[in-house]
Structure 1
Amino acid sequence: MEKLHTSIPPQTTHNLSWNLPHWDDVTRAQNENTLGYPRYQLHSMIQRLTDILKDKYAKDNEKCLVFPSYTVAKRVREYIKFHNSIAISSTTTRLKVRILQLSTSEPLNDEERIWKRVCKVAVVFINEEYYHLMWEYWQLTGEIISSRVAEYVLHELFIIEKSTKTRDNNNSGSHTDDVNESNSKPGQGNTIEYIETRFGRSLNFMLADKAKRLIKKRIATKVVDLENDTLNDRDENDYMLNMDLMNLHNFNDDSDEDSEFEDEYNRSHNPTNNSDNHNNNNNILQSLIPAEPMNPGFNDIPESDSNLSLPSSVATQQQQQQLHHHQLINFNRDIYLFPSGMAAIHLAHRTLLYLDNERINRLRIPSNQQSPSKKKTVILGTCIPDTYKLISKFNDFHFIKSSGQQGLEDLKDILHSGEQILAVFIEAPNVMNKFEMINLIDLKKLSELFGFNIIIDESNGGFINIDGLIYCDIMVSSLGKLFSNYDITNNEEDHDVMAGSLIVNPQGKMYNEIQTFIKEDYEDLLWCEDAIHLEQNSRDVINKNNRINKTTLTLMQDVFIPNKSQFKEIYHPSLPHSGQETYDLVKCKKHGGYGGIILLTFHSLEEAKQFYNNVKLYKSIGLGTNLTLLWPYYLGMDTKEYELKYGCEFDKTMIRICIGLEDPKVLSDTFLNALKKYSI
């Protein structure tokens, strides 16, 4: 666990996190931009592909990055030129962005379709002087390629080329835009050996589309095994969900199609598997693999957790009845998947900007009069810096520091001034604000009264713990925790996946307009291998979530609270000073809990360093799932603009702990041992 920059989980190829075991390692990585997270540092597979493409196609003083589609590459070009428009007029260097589109060959027969699929990527070349703008787009928008895409392209394009010693456009399917074939450099990169062959793998690419379908179902319903209803008159893709998204009514699943998926998957992964489990008559859509192994002590997890009743002062019974009505969610129509959570945020905000431009075009008046102004986005709460930068790069905005009651009052001041706003973006709960959480019921009322949209990022809360969908128009989330880090201890495959999702609220005020734009603009850029692994990761999300919730509360009660004198403060949504009251308003009644993120602040920076260095667990910027991860939260973030422009103060002693699936007793002993080493 102490080795620097080892992959997490260990000995994996497509990991999302790298170990930084000591405080000084984090400081050094921050200064050198080597934090390891895929949006902050190129994965070795992507770096290798980039180097080959640079050697083969780049002109002098050019650098390149690989993006998942030609459409994304054109957005990169627009971004670079727009944000460098002033510099272009004041420099003698002419800014030129070149795009090379590459495509792997199509499968020739059914046998090849099992392991082969067309993969199109776009390579953007730019003078190295402007490379930082292209890298900024990569980091902020999350429209990136995964390590599995890079691995596949490396094999399909460059190993074939190595064997033929020629470049055949028909075989490679290569297409160019702005890049002339005569500028290529044949022979360069051909000595690179590919480290792993794809042939003989058990992964079946033909399962990808159904894998995505199952992922969307699980996001929509927040369950894994769904009981069929006897009614057959409902659209097979429509789910009647209670607004707390826990009670499922009148569900009719087209289980025959999914059974084909299950049977084919189990045949390819476990030929000796007894198929009797799939032929029973209990009308249940089976989980595609057995439940993950249960550690001792977890068998008594309750089927559901009771939720605290809402205080009458916060929401009356009538208000609750109005809010907890039913809605139809079509998982094929209303849920979208992305290669990262930031890509989902990017599309959400791009959608609202488009709708605002349409509003302006409708209201255009003669040129001798003042044109309608663009509406601003409100960033409510100190969200992660990347989200703040993304929104600020693409639109004028208001920043409100507080994500709690004070933030709501500040928002009212803006609205009461007569200014119309485009949208409010919030994280629920807000980790940077130590779990401070706005009253979503009150925010929803304001949005209905003043006509603005709400975007909620619920990555920190998780699909199963809270339900923010009824309070927003668009909900986005990273899928890098519960839907990632599948337990690889009994499986040789590497399952770590970065992904994101976006859900459009069917009862949102601009649902039709939002869907019209997204359907035209959305590209499915989630690579087939990533989707298949993501589906595998998603099968036991209820069980994983319950275990994490229970372990976290156990650690709070047995370790952290009894030793609270050793900390300056402890933050967790289960504590009153961490926004428990407003969290409980949207906490799911069944299976919902307070999550696995604990924040600790210390009396001195030295104590924080000692604790971090002494805990014998993995340490990384990621959220993890199976493995508990520690991270010096504010130290690993670029908070300079928050501090200089808005006077935000961040306690650099704060450590974020993301609880995993380990045995609670082992975790308790680990943390207690670390506390003893620096206790006075």
Structure 2
Amino acid sequence: MAAPPVQLPATIPLGASVPALTAHAISVSLPTWDDNIGYEEGDKRVVDRMETGYPRFFIHRSIQKLAALCLAKFGRPDELCILLPSPKVAGEGRDFLASQNPSIPSRVVEFVICPSAVSLIDSSSSQAWGGVDCIELQILLFDKSHWAFGKAFWQHTGDGICSRLAERALAFLGETPAGSTARPPTPPLERQPSKAPSSRNRHYSRRNTSVPSTPRTPTTPATPATPTAASDDAPVEAVTGENLTPELATYLEERYGRNMPLFNAPLAKQALKRRIAGGLLPSDEGFGKVDDVARGAGSGSGKKAVKEDDVYLYPCGMSAIWHAHNIARSARRRKGQQEGKSICYGFPYTDTLKILNKWGPGCHFLGSGGTEDIPVLEKLLEERKPDEPPLLSLFCEFPSNPLLRSPDLVRIRQLADKYGFVIVVDETIGNFINVEVVEFADIVVSSLTKIFSGDANVMGGSLILNPNGPLFDELKAVQNAEYEDNYYPEDAVYMERNSRDYRGRIKRVNDNAFDVTDFLYRRSLDDSSTPAEGKVVKKVYYPRFQTPELYAQAQRQPTTGKGGFGGLFSVTFTSDQASKAFYDTLGCAKGPSLGTSFTLASPYTILAHYLELDWAAEYGVERGLVRISVGQEDESVLKQWFESALEAAEAVGRASV
């Protein structure tokens, strides 16, 4: 008897959010190769249908709407603006604009928005707003001709306001989220708020002095807004730090279900930091046990374990990377020394390299990032001129995105100990269930937006200071003096909920990715055990096949699932036509980002390096590369997707012979 046909999900339309119908989605559907090229080239067919996009590149519609209101209230006709969460971040933005050549003047306006009587109608107190009495926005205004520089600060630092904050501010102003057709709430005659609004002036501004905003915001519809993150279970009482115990996570799950109430967002942040420091959970059933892995302290090593006080939360992963660079720079300045250049080791995610080049004296780029670059690194260190400042830091990914190569962390650590530079390791792709890089690094950064969350509906980032690192005291002193928590409370609540089943998801993703890459590798030119005739897959980039001996330096044992190599891989083909046929036929969701609970594909080089394709190709990142983040789908679904896509690519190959 034939097996019943596999039921596959419907294709998400061009420009719609990924996941579909998600107000704060972190991806957007670009279902064909030509759609991606059209997006990069500004084709109206594509751009006019974009409801959303990756948040650092496509400013959320509700943020755009709020920016338009701010411009109308405080801006001049020749100005645009970006919205920032604190005076400190606004100051960084002003400094960045002022550092351009020629210097770009700007000015900052503080806009304090408190709940109106309208916005409090459905709440008995400010607890319904997560304990937020008022929102303090920093509006960085500059001439509209310098928009590219304002957007660059937003994109590279990741420190702009988030979409949930924008929607809360709009609600306080009696406005609906962007794209909503609902009318602003109006008080029913029979109900009045049981607590009057704050006596503080509802809206006021404090203008600061002036140095490069979002364009005036379009009003095209976006996806519908999600309900408030407050728990559906009522009533609830506040949980304070006094009753935080090792059984924290169990308590949260049993007491609040899916989401904690917003006024307990500080507890959500504490849970996240403990979850990250403790290495996660032994199983979903063991929820709350955080002694699974003491990060940074091997058995009998005598080393200190990472504590939650060594973990810092940021609005997104790129924010953590930007601040890691800033921490290293501040530590060097505190010693009265010049900063020195940094090193970008291995082909990185695009914004990392831009951060190292745009802030401070620049960087050396060692684009291969394997053992072959260790002698180059040694030469840089040994041949430094006497009047040249020592190298500041080395940034690397473990493994790298999109080529999944791993650096030699053992040798890099030896060189750092000898020459005194800071090692910053981005473990987003490896993730801290599969790998443990803390023992090699001074600072570990991660994008919690990716597989730690999995649901693709919230941003977040983390930074860990290695308590056993030789520079720990210096770096900790900087954080004690300069760290500012700008992680929006509602985002923290969603992230805490999403990450509860992290370990179980990692196992399923590891298993699925192992099977898919095994299938593709056996049909690739790299597999010499089968004839090359008819093959169109050139190479499968996956830690199992790329620098496996270096990946093993930090690979956790025993592994979680098959191999413990993670869910991300890339594949290249013998022609761009084959790449296009494979991508267009592949049945999964397609758009930017990775680490989603569902499989997500992207023509990575086209999206990330369209204006520098030749440069990327010099480091092995080919134009036709397809990057795939494997999800948790059933094996039968994945098999049908990848078999169909490969058959389409091979058909193109046969036709071109």
Per the shorter chain, which TM-score range? 0.7 to 0.9
Q: Is the partner of 1:176 in helix, strand or coil? A: strand
Q: How does 1:410-449 map to 2 (within 5 A)?
A: 410-418=376-384, 420-432=390-402, 434-449=403-418
Q: Is the partner of 1:425 in helix, strand or coil? A: strand
Task: Give, as a single letter, the amino acid of the residue that structure 2 aligns with 1:15.
Answer: A
Distance (whole Å) between structure 2 residues aligned to residue 543 and residue 518 of structure 1: 33
Distance (whole Å) between structure 1 residues aligned to residue 425 and residue 86 of structure 2: 27
Q: How does 1:209-288 map to 2 (within 5 A)?
A: 209-224=266-281
Aligned to 1:368: none
Deviation string, structure 1 residues 30-65 (Cα, Å, up to 9, x no partner): 223878211111111111211222222211111111
| Pair 127,400 (structure 1): closer, same or farther in 2 beyond 3 Å | same
| Pair 629,112 (structure 1): closer, same or farther in 2 beyond 3 Å | same
Aligned to 1:652: 623
1:642 shift after superposition: 8.6
Contact in 2 for aligned 1:245/1:588 (Cα 8 Å): no
TM (norm. structure 2) is 0.78
Contact in 1 for aligned 2:605/2:613 (Cα 8 Å): no
Which of 17, 26, 34 does residue 7 from structure 1 map onto?
A: 17
Task: Give, as a single letter, the amino acid of the residue that structure 2 aligns with 1:427.
Answer: E
1:159 shift after superposition: 4.2
TM (norm. structure 1) is 0.75
| 2:206 matches 1:176 | yes
Which of 631, 645, 659 does residue 602 from structure 2 map onto?
A: 631
Q: Is the partner of 1:569 in helix, strand or coil? A: strand
Contact in 2 for aligned 1:559/1:672 (Cα 8 Å): no
Distance (whole Å) between structure 1 residues aligned to residue 209 and residue 186 of structure 2: 24
Q: Is the partner of 2:552 in helix, strand or coil? A: helix
| Pair 466,639 (structure 1): closer, same or farther in 2 beyond 3 Å | farther
Q: How does 1:25-44 map to 2 (within 5 A)?
A: 25-32=35-42, 36-44=53-61
Unpaired segments ≥5 residues, structure 1: 89-94, 181-188, 228-235, 248-320, 362-372, 487-494
Which of 329, 351, 360 does residue 336 from structure 2 map onto?
A: 360
Task: Give, as a single letter, the amino acid of the residue that structure 1 aligns with 2:141.
Answer: F
| Pair 409,531 (structure 1): closer, same or farther in 2 beyond 3 Å | same
Distance (whole Å) between structure 2 residues aligned to residue 345 and residue 123 of structure 1: 24
| Pair 163,62 (structure 1): closer, same or farther in 2 beyond 3 Å | farther
1:583 shift after superposition: 0.2
Distance (whole Å) between structure 1 residues aligned to residue 75 and residue 462 of structure 2: 34
Q: How does 1:296-315 map to 2 (within 5 A)?
A: none
Distance (whole Å) between structure 2 residues aligned to residue 645 and residue 206 of structure 1: 46
Which of 58, 65, 71 does residue 82 from structure 2 map onto?
A: 65
Distance (whole Å) between structure 1 residues aligned to residue 64 and residue 298 of structure 2: 43
| Pair 590,157 (structure 1): closer, same or farther in 2 beyond 3 Å | farther
TM-align CA RMSD: 3.3
| Pair 510,566 (structure 1): closer, same or farther in 2 beyond 3 Å | same
Aligned to 1:572: 542
Distance (whole Å) between structure 1 residues aligned to residue 92 and residue 392 of structure 2: 22
Distance (whole Å) between structure 2 residues aligned to residue 222 and residue 626 of structure 1: 20
Distance (whole Å) between structure 2 residues aligned to residue 176 and residue 608 of structure 1: 54
Task: Give, as a single letter, the amino acid of the residue that structure 1 aligns with 2:147.
Answer: Y
Aligned to 1:126: 142
> Identity of paired residues, percent?
27
Q: How does 1:79-158 map to 2 (within 5 A)?
A: 79-84=96-101, 86=102, 95-105=105-115, 111-116=125-130, 117-118=132-133, 119-158=135-174
Distance (whole Å) between structure 2 residues aligned to residue 359 and residue 640 of structure 1: 40
Contact in 1 for aligned 2:404/2:543 (Cα 8 Å): yes
Which of 557, 560, 576 does residue 589 from structure 1 map onto?
A: 557
Q: Is the partner of 1:568 in helix, strand or coil? A: strand
Aligned to 1:20: 30
Distance (whole Å) between structure 1 residues aligned to residue 576 and residue 474 of structure 2: 50
Distance (whole Å) between structure 1 residues aligned to residue 640 and residue 583 of structure 2: 15
| Pair 3,426 (structure 1): closer, same or farther in 2 beyond 3 Å | same
Runs of 4+ in 1 over 6 A off after TM superposition: 106-110, 160-164, 194-197, 236-240, 244-247
Unpaired segments ≥5 residues, structure 2: 1-10, 177-183, 188-196, 211-218, 233-258, 526-534
Contact in 1 for aligned 2:436/2:554 (Cα 8 Å): yes
Distance (whole Å) between structure 2 residues aligned to residue 13 and residue 642 of structure 1: 33
Contact in 1 for aligned 2:97/2:103 (Cα 8 Å): no
Contact in 2 for aligned 1:223/1:542 (Cα 8 Å): yes
Deviation string, structure 1 residues 253-274 (Cα, Å, up to 9, x no partner): xxxxxxxxxxxxxxxxxxxxxx
Deviation string, structure 1 residues 430-465 (Cα, Å, up to 9, x no partner): 124x22222111111111112111011111111111
| Pair 200,518 (structure 1): closer, same or farther in 2 beyond 3 Å | closer
Contact in 2 for aligned 1:241/1:327 (Cα 8 Å): no
Q: Is the partner of 2:571 in helix, strand or coil? A: strand
Contact in 2 for aligned 1:140/1:386 (Cα 8 Å): yes
Deviates more, 1:335-344 or 1:619-628: 619-628
Aligned to 1:56: 73
Distance (whole Å) between structure 2 residues aligned to residue 199 and residue 654 of structure 1: 38
| 2:223 matches 1:206 | no
| 2:416 matches 1:399 | no
Aligned to 2:488: 527
Deviation string, structure 1 residues 84-139 (Cα, Å, up to 9, x no partner): 4x256xxxxxx342323324359999843143414322111111012221111000
Q: Is the partner of 2:306 in helix, strand or coil? A: strand
| Pair 634,58 (structure 1): closer, same or farther in 2 beyond 3 Å | same
Distance (whole Å) between structure 2 residues aligned to residue 120 and residue 458 of structure 1: 33
Which of 455, 459, 465 does residue 504 from structure 1 map onto?
A: 465
Q: How does 1:315-330 map to 2 (within 5 A)?
A: 325-330=302-307
Q: Is the partner of 2:606 in helix, strand or coil? A: coil
| 2:636 matches 1:668 | no
Aligned to 1:381: 346
Task: Give, as a single letter, the amino acid of the residue that structure 2 aligns with 1:45.
Answer: S
Number of equivalent positions: 555
Deviation string, structure 1 residues 328-359 (Cα, Å, up to 9, x no partner): 3220x100111111111111111111122223
Contact in 1 for aligned 2:609/2:616 (Cα 8 Å): no
| Pair 240,600 (structure 1): closer, same or farther in 2 beyond 3 Å | closer
Distance (whole Å) between structure 2 residues aligned to residue 226 and residue 600 of structure 1: 32
Q: Is the partner of 2:433 in helix, strand or coil? A: coil
Aligned to 2:424: 455
| 2:590 matches 1:619 | yes
Q: Is the partner of 2:644 in helix, strand or coil? A: helix
Aligned to 1:76: 93
Distance (whole Å) between structure 2 residues aligned to residue 195 and residue 482 of structure 1: 23
Task: Give, as a single letter, the amino acid of the residue that structure 1 aligns with 2:110.
Answer: L
Deviates more, 1:548-557 or 1:201-210: 201-210
Contact in 1 for aligned 2:32/2:584 (Cα 8 Å): yes
Contact in 1 for aligned 2:84/2:161 (Cα 8 Å): yes
